[in-house]
Chains A and B, each alone.
Chain A
Amino acid sequence: MKPILIAKNLTKSYAKGIFALNNVSFELDQGKVLVVMGPSGSGKSTLIRTINGLETFDKGELNILGIKIGSDNDERKIQKIRRRVGMVFQQFNLFPHLTILENITLAPIQVQKRQQKEAEEYGMYLLSQMGIESHSKKYPSQLSGGEQQRVAIARSLALKPELLLFDEPTSALDPERINEVLDEMRRLADQGMTMIVVTHEIKFAKEVSDQVLFIDSGKIIEISSPDVFFSNASHERSRKFLNQIN
């Protein structure tokens, strides 16, 4: 199968000798779920944000859905990638001045130039899939964190993306709200969505992911299947990390 994403030697440094990304290379096949783990400040957020151009990089090359971007960070190519890659943030980042449905239909109408009626119908369909269609006329502040995050997922799905990025999607949620979001993500994975997920949820990683990428100090320590990573991690650093979060 042809990989949907190829990262080659991605390197980014803030100051001399301090790397946010250090020669990061990996591939991701269509329909696969990659979980990115690592201690705080390890570069996992930087890595996932590089993929849709929210962060730039200094060296290396990214090939996403056949669009190649280099260290020149070509704005037009990044824009093309963003239209085909969705992102879900830790803080949801819903637009507080728009209703739930407007949050979802804004990009389809503005970016993909779809008819409002069509966009709204699809938006309602996405909301009903998540079981929150009754909230469509409300504003984000009227919803719980878990509901807001599900709206954020629906918002990124509205553009019918070919790759979804999740940057610690459950870290800002109350513990009892985490599962409702993880269940949606699980459902998407079952439907064959290609996903990259930065998370500390070991259960989710074990059950849903195809690969676990462990990163520390901007360097990939290992990429293994979840079975291997959680029971028999090949690196000392990975084992130490797993002991700490368990």
Chain B
Amino acid sequence: MSKNKKIFFQIVLMFALLGFTGILINNLIINLTRTDIGFKFNWLIKPASFSLAEHSLPYSPSDSYAWALFIGWINSLKVIISSLILATCIGTLIGFLRVGKNSFFRITTAGFITIVRQTPLLIQLMCWYFVGFLSIRNNTFLNIRNILNISNKGIEFFGLYLSSEFSALLLGLSIFSSAFIAEVIRGGIQSVPLGQWEAYRSLGISEKQGFFKIIIPQALPAFIPGLTSQYLNLAKNSTLAIAVGYSDIYAINDTIINQTGRAIECFIILLFSFLILNLLITKVMGIIDKSIMRSRI
């Protein structure tokens, strides 16, 4: 293709894209004027007048919609960050066992990964909530001397109370993501050339020391891109909180849309809150990636 032709096609493509966006915006404006709703954000300061089961900061129904949304954002952040940490721990452990020498662990972790990856997250969340927590008989499942108490009201650990909704979401998200993270870990470890294993073995270095001093440092750079995309997925998947009744930003958005009818504005807010959150995750992972790369020149 000649250069002129290429430029011509790019211009055509650009206009097609602009035209399509224009049609969508036009539709939106026509519909908003027809229904006489308009496009405003002043409702944000009106009282929300609904209560929230879970709030890390003080909240009452007389507080504004904006504050309710912020509480939702904090709730989302809380579950995302804790799931991210838990999923990374479980996923790393499973990834290590998946490539380890013990064939029992190799097979069971392969089974775990297959089952968890091949079933929908929504069903897994429902399972944790309804089968896991709500069905606990006699209200208590496990009680270890006031240290750990698991009941149908949630988990209490050293005085830290986690509601059953939060716990179900935390477990569901962590276990689901851990299976994907385990595969990222496995891929990274297997990307290290076989000769590196042979080299440390031939020097009489033990399997444990060789793994942590030779293999893992070389596998780290290969972990980062995969982990970043799993963390982004985890953050987005957290919106399934609504299925177990946890008041995350999406669930609160949903309630507000029902009350105010401000669907467009609410979705724009939702979109930007996730954009900011995920850009933050990408940025942090980028910094980690850079520091790893720098440490190995």
User: 1/0 per position for B190-204, CB-CB distance to A under 8 A?
Assistant: 000101101111111
CB within 8 A of A93: which of B198, B206, B295, B297? B198
Given contacts A110-B213, A139-B297, contact A96 B218 (CB under 8 A): yes
B209 interfacial by beta-carbon distance below 8 Å: yes
Which residues of the partner chain B approach A93 to less than 8 Å between Cβ atoms?
193, 195-196, 198-199
Q: Closest residue of chain A to B221, judged by CB?
A: A97
Cβ A54 vs Cβ B198 within 8 A? yes
Cβ B205 vs Cβ A89 within 8 A? no
B217 interfacial by beta-carbon distance below 8 Å: yes
Which residues of the partner chain B approach A96 to less than 8 Å between Cβ atoms?
218, 296
**Complex interface residues of chain A between 113 and 144 (CB less than 8 A to chain B):** 139, 141
B110 interfacial by beta-carbon distance below 8 Å: no
Cβ A82 vs Cβ B203 within 8 A? yes
Most buried by B among A97, A106, A111: A97
Bound together, the chains give a CA A64 to CA B203 distance in angstroms of 16
Bound together, the chains give a CA A141 to CA B202 distance in angstroms of 21
CB within 8 A of A110: which of B195, B196, B201, B205? B205
Cβ A89 vs Cβ B218 within 8 A? no
User: 1/0 per position for A54-90, CB-CB distance to B under 8 A?
Assistant: 1000000000000000000000000100110111010
Bound together, the chains give a CA A17 to CA B243 distance in angstroms of 61
A52 interfacial by beta-carbon distance below 8 Å: yes
Cβ B199 vs Cβ A111 within 8 A? no
Which residues of the partner chain B approach A154 to less than 8 Å between Cβ atoms?
none
A17 to chain B, nearest CB (A): 27
A91 interfacial by beta-carbon distance below 8 Å: yes
Cβ A107 vs Cβ B214 within 8 A? no
Bound together, the chains give a CA A96 to CA B213 distance in angstroms of 12
User: 1/0 per position for A142-163, CB-CB distance to B under 8 A?
Assistant: 0000000000000110010000
Which residues of the partner chain A approach B295 to less than 8 Å between Cβ atoms?
97
Cβ B204 vs Cβ A79 within 8 A? yes
Majority secondary structure of chain A interface residues (helix, strand, loop or mixed): loop
CB within 8 A of B199: which of A85, A94, A141, A159? A94
Cβ A52 vs Cβ B218 within 8 A? no
Bound together, the chains give a CA A89 to CA B195 distance in angstroms of 8
B: contact size bracket: 20 to 34
B172 to chain A, nearest CB (A): 37
A241 interfacial by beta-carbon distance below 8 Å: no
User: 1/0 per position for B134-159, CB-CB distance to A under 8 A?
Assistant: 00000000000000000000000000
Bound together, the chains give a CA A155 to CA B203 distance in angstroms of 9
Bound together, the chains give a CA A106 to CA B203 distance in angstroms of 9
Which residues of the partner chain A approach B201 to less than 8 Å between Cβ atoms?
53-54, 82
Cβ A110 vs Cβ B198 within 8 A? no
A11 to chain B, nearest CB (A): 22
Which residues of the partner chain B approach A111 to less than 8 Å between Cβ atoms?
203-206
A26 interfacial by beta-carbon distance below 8 Å: no
Which residues of the partner chain B approach A52 to less than 8 Å between Cβ atoms?
202
Given contacts A89-B199, A93-B196, A95-B199, contact A106 B213 (CB under 8 A): yes
Cβ B196 vs Cβ A95 within 8 A? yes
Bound together, the chains give a CA A4 to CA B202 distance in angstroms of 18
Bound together, the chains give a CA A155 to CA B204 distance in angstroms of 12
Q: Closest residue of chain A to B192, judged by CB?
A: A96
Cβ B196 vs Cβ A107 within 8 A? no
CB within 8 A of B202: which of A82, A95, A110? A82
Can you name 7 extra interface pairs (CB under 8 A) apart from A54-B201, A107-B204, A156-B202? A86-B202, A93-B198, A95-B200, A96-B218, A110-B206, A141-B297, A159-B204
9 A-B pairs closest in CB distance: A93-B199, A83-B204, A107-B203, A93-B195, A87-B202, A82-B204, A111-B204, A97-B217, A97-B296
Q: Chain B: residues with CB nearer than 8 A to chain A?
A: 193, 195-196, 198-206, 209, 213-214, 217-218, 295-297
28 CB < 8 A contacts A-B? A52-B202, A54-B198, A54-B201, A82-B203, A86-B202, A86-B203, A87-B202, A89-B195, A89-B202, A91-B193, A93-B193, A93-B195, A93-B196, A95-B199, A95-B214, A95-B218, A97-B217, A97-B218, A106-B203, A106-B205, A110-B205, A110-B206, A110-B213, A111-B203, A111-B206, A139-B296, A139-B297, A156-B202
